[in-house]
Amino acid sequence: MFDPKSLKYQKSHEWLSADGTVGISDHAQKEITDVVFVEPPKVGRHVKRGEACCVVESVKAAFDIYAPVSGEIAAANAEAGKNPALVNQDPYGKGWLFKIKASAPEDASALMSAADYEKFIASEAAHGSH
Amino acid sequence: MLGAELTAPALDAAGQMALDEAVLLSAPVGALILRVYLWSDRACTFGYSQPHRAARAACDARGWTDVAPVRRATGGGIVFHDGDVTFSLVFPWERTWAPDSIYKNIHRAAHLGLKRAGAATFLNSPPARPLGAAAACFARAEPMDLVLDDGTKVLGGALRKREGKGLYQGSLRLERLGLSAQAAAEAVAEGAALEFGHAPSRELAPEWLEAARDLAQRYRSRDWNQRR
């Protein structure tokens, strides 16, 4: 399991670890409630930063998941595909979604630190529902 | 009266799904765009993550052996489009991911409009969320669905979130509402204006229609509909 404080975050609530693992934050999994489906990207696919490459569905709502950096999909979490509840149960561990081999590692510098992400979700809450 | 008219001409399932997605992809962030539509023939749509075989079997069990079920971009379950009015709303969806709050807003809009039209409905608020997901949309009422006083579900919906926009697709059953399709369409539009503080746009840009023509090919394809 990754330490959430060690991760980088996007405004769209994906996290990225130093080894290229990607998942969604605990905040996001709580908001979307029970995840019933995960469609990870195909290994070997090349994605650009911000490109929709994965889908997570909770009850009656499908969410696009975006690549936090450009690169090649190096692995996909088949276990989360078989047991989507892992995304809720362990968002920073067994509920990871895919791994990406960054082609432009500097992309990660544009992501938020854990502290900045906490401020970001606090400001979202302060601005109301949607 | 907002002059809400049903989309004309009615399209087939692939055409309607394609136009909804084209609006989602092409509308500017912040736009609120409503379409209320009928179908050119009976149709069956099913949720993005559902297996095609489940929709196929449901159609066959209903005797709809000639109907090709079409996969939606939104989640949710199997919907038979016969005797319903379908509406879609593209809306800003930025700050929260919580689908329940979205359903609450949109279904309250429908509730308000239907109430003005003389049809009493209620937001379903069970003490606990039912476990799992039902294969068919109208098999049970989910939290925030619209129901009659006896619990019969009359409005169910499904969502897709893409960047800062959301696509809602809802199916409103008319049998027990005592409303015509046109009256229901007007009620939905009026309710949306009340709930959101302004009337949603009903205008479709020519380029969205063009994009929908391209997308419709995908919605007709085996690759899309039988991808799982």
Total CB pairs under 8 A between chain A and B: 93
Does residue B137 belong to any structural domain of this protein? Answer: yes
Does residue B146 belong to any structural domain of this protein? Answer: yes
Percent of chain A with pLDDT strictly greater than 70: 97
Does residue B59 belong to any structural domain of this protein? Answer: yes
pLDDT at residue A129 tops 50: no
Does residue B34 belong to any structural domain of this protein? Answer: yes
pLDDT band at B7 (very low <50, low <70, confident <90, very high): low
Q: Tell if the CB–CB gap between A61 and B163 is shorter than 8 Å.
A: no
Every domain of chain A and the residues it spans: 4-126
Domain containing residue B22: CATH number: 3.30.930.10
Match 């939905």 to its residue by tokens.
Answer: B188
List, edge to edge, every strand of the sheet that includes A71-76. A8-9, A14-16, A21-24, A98-102, A71-76, A46-47
- For residue B175, the enclosing domain spans 13-212
Does residue B30 belong to any structural domain of this protein? Answer: yes
Does residue B223 belong to any structural domain of this protein? Answer: no
Residues of A in Cβ contact (< 8 Å) with B156? 60
- Predicted TM-score (pTM) above 0.80: yes
What integer best gives the mean pLDDT of chain B? 91
Q: Tell if the CB–CB gap between B160 and A37 is shorter than 8 Å.
A: no
Does any CB of chain B come closer than 8 Å to the CB of residue A129?
A: yes
Q: How far apart are CA B88 and CA B171, in angstroms?
A: 9
Q: DSSP assignment of B158-189, as one string?
A: EEEEETTEEEEEEEEE-TTTT--HHHHHHHHH
- At residue B41, the pLDDT reads 87
pLDDT at residue B132 tops 90: no
- At residue B94, the pLDDT reads 83
Min Cα–Cα distance to chain B from A11, Å? 9
Instruction: Decide: B67 and B43 in contact? Cβ < 8 Å.
Output: yes
Q: Is A66 helix (H, G, I), strand (E, B) or coil?
A: strand
pLDDT at residue B220 tops 80: yes
pLDDT band at B102 (very low <50, low <70, confident <90, very high): very high
Instruction: Decide: B93 and B161 in contact? Cβ < 8 Å.
Output: yes
Average pLDDT of B30-54?
93
Span A107-119, pLDDT tens digits: 899 999 999 999 9
Q: Tell if the CB–CB gap between B161 and A31 is shorter than 8 Å.
A: no
Does residue B41 belong to any structural domain of this protein? Answer: yes
Does residue B224 belong to any structural domain of this protein? Answer: no
Q: Tell if the CB–CB gap between A124 and B96 is shorter than 8 Å.
A: yes
As for the ipTM of the complex, it is 0.90
What integer best gives the mean pLDDT of chain A? 94
Residue type, B112: L
- At residue B3, the pLDDT reads 40
Span B108-129, pLDDT tens digits: 999 999 999 999 999 998 877 7
Q: How far apart are CA A69 and CA A7, in angstroms?
A: 13
Q: Which helix (H) or strand (E) holds A93?
A: none
* DSSP summary character for residue A125: H
Q: Which helix (H) or strand (E) holds A35?
A: none
Average pLDDT of B11-17?
94
- Does domain A4-126 fall under CATH 3.40.50.150? My reply is no
Query: Number of structural domains, chain B?
Result: 1
- At residue B4, the pLDDT reads 45
